[in-house]
Amino acid sequence: PIKKTPEDFIFGKVIGEGSYSTVYLAKELSSGKEFAIKVLEKKHIMRERKGDYVMREKEVLMKLNHPFFIRLYYTFQDEDRLYFVLSYAKRGELLDYLNKLSSFDEHCSRFYIAEMVLALQYLHDLGIIHRDLKPENVLLNDDMHILITDFGSAKIMRPEKEERPKSEDSHGRRRNSFVGTAQYVSPEMLTNKKTCYSSDLWALGCIVYQLMSGLPPFRGGHEYQIFQKITNLEYEFPDGFDKVTRDLVENLLKLDPEKRLGCPEMGGYGPLKGHPFFKNVNWDSLPDETAPDLL
């Protein structure tokens, strides 16, 4: 196939900004289709030694083919920049709707959490861990279904390497430098730098709590205060928090990653999808259902 070039698109407004990338709304001249183009400055990537992250994001995106994930259509480069042509999520971030509504009702929370469960099940079945799941990375398409994005922090579990411990520091801790976003990072990523599928289930537990209450469970002025609350499992439910939802959150926010509902050691996704919180969910038709009206 012929490689696209920046001249094949009209670049519009900035719709996303990260430490190493800027995302533009763009229109393809030949088709008139709208895309989100993620642009990365080569010099910045090399200076910050983030080439591995960029390569991994591309490798992960090329593996994904599911309605609940942002799709990668093309990649190309010019002298100074890398370009990832991605799905345009017309309704933006789930977080924006949550902030506007303060919190979601049980019906809306159930719909969006169920879609995230299906997305994580697909991702984990591919041997991929997102590692930075949070409401900002859950985008919405025009039909208000989810499109999970941002795989710059993802990890691909490769069986042949899984047993070999990563390089360790002088205290025997793994050198894995990556840590997710403070409010959603799992205790094991803070203590022994161990990354596992269950780390995404911890983030899911934080998101369930946040959709229903409006705020994430672990909060604080500084990151170290948040980290301390996470490792001490220091969080409370607001008065009136639904009891069934509370049980789901408590079974996801387990300090021991092997005790979290949905993890391989707890029987995988069957027991999670069977939790009473999801009692009326039709898992097979979810992508085709009409999304709840959020506004």
Ligand X SMILES: NC(=O)Nc1ccc2c(c1)=C(Cc1cc(-c3cccc(C(=O)NCCN4CCCCC4)c3)c[nH]1)C(=O)N=2
Task: Kindly list the residues in this chain that would bind ligand X in the complex (CB under 6 A).
Answer: 15-16, 18, 23, 36, 38, 70, 86-89, 91-92, 96-97, 100, 139, 149-150
Residue closer to ligand X, measured from CB, 58 or 91: 91
Q: Which residue has the tokens 């922090």?
A: 153
Tell me the chain's radius of gyration from C-alpha atoms: 19
In angstroms, what CA-CA distances link 244 with 45, 98, 166, 208, 241? 45, 21, 39, 12, 9
Residue closer to ligand X, measured from CB, 37 or 263: 37
- In whole angstroms, what is the distance from residue 268 CA to residue 262 CA? 4
Produce one character per residue of 179-213: b if its CB has 16 or more CB atoms within 10 Å, e if not.
bbbbbbbbbbbbeebbbbbbbbbbbbbbbbbbbbb
Residue closer to ligand X, measured from CB, 89 or 203: 89
Query: Can 256 be counted among the known catalytic residues?
Result: no
Residue closer to ligand X, measured from CB, 154 or 248: 154
- In whole angstroms, what is the distance from residue 28 CA to residue 48 CA? 31
CB count within 10 Å of CB 221 equals: 7
Which candidate, 224, 249, 230, 226, places its Cα nearest to that of 238? 249
Residue closer to ligand X, measured from CB, 16 or 180: 16
- In whole angstroms, what is the distance from residue 131 CA to residue 180 CA? 6
Which candidate, 237, 50, 272, 236, places its Cα nearest to that of 153? 50
Query: Which member of 52, 78, 125, 132 is catalytic?
Result: 132
CB of residue 110 to ligand X, shortest distance in Å:
20
CB of residue 194 to ligand X, shortest distance in Å:
25
Name the region of 194 (left: φ>0; alpha: ψ -120 to 50; beta: rest).
beta
CB count within 10 Å of CB 95 equals: 16
What is the maximum span of the chain, computed from C-alpha positions, in angstroms? 59
CB of residue 180 to ligand X, shortest distance in Å:
13
**Tokens encoding 268:** 């995988």
CB of residue 153 to ligand X, shortest distance in Å:
10
Q: Which residue is nearest to ligand X (CB)?
A: 92
CB of residue 146 to ligand X, shortest distance in Å:
12
- In whole angstroms, what is the distance from residue 228 CA to residue 201 CA? 19
Residue closer to ligand X, measured from CB, 92 or 274: 92
CB of residue 154 to ligand X, shortest distance in Å:
11
Catalytic residue annotation? 132
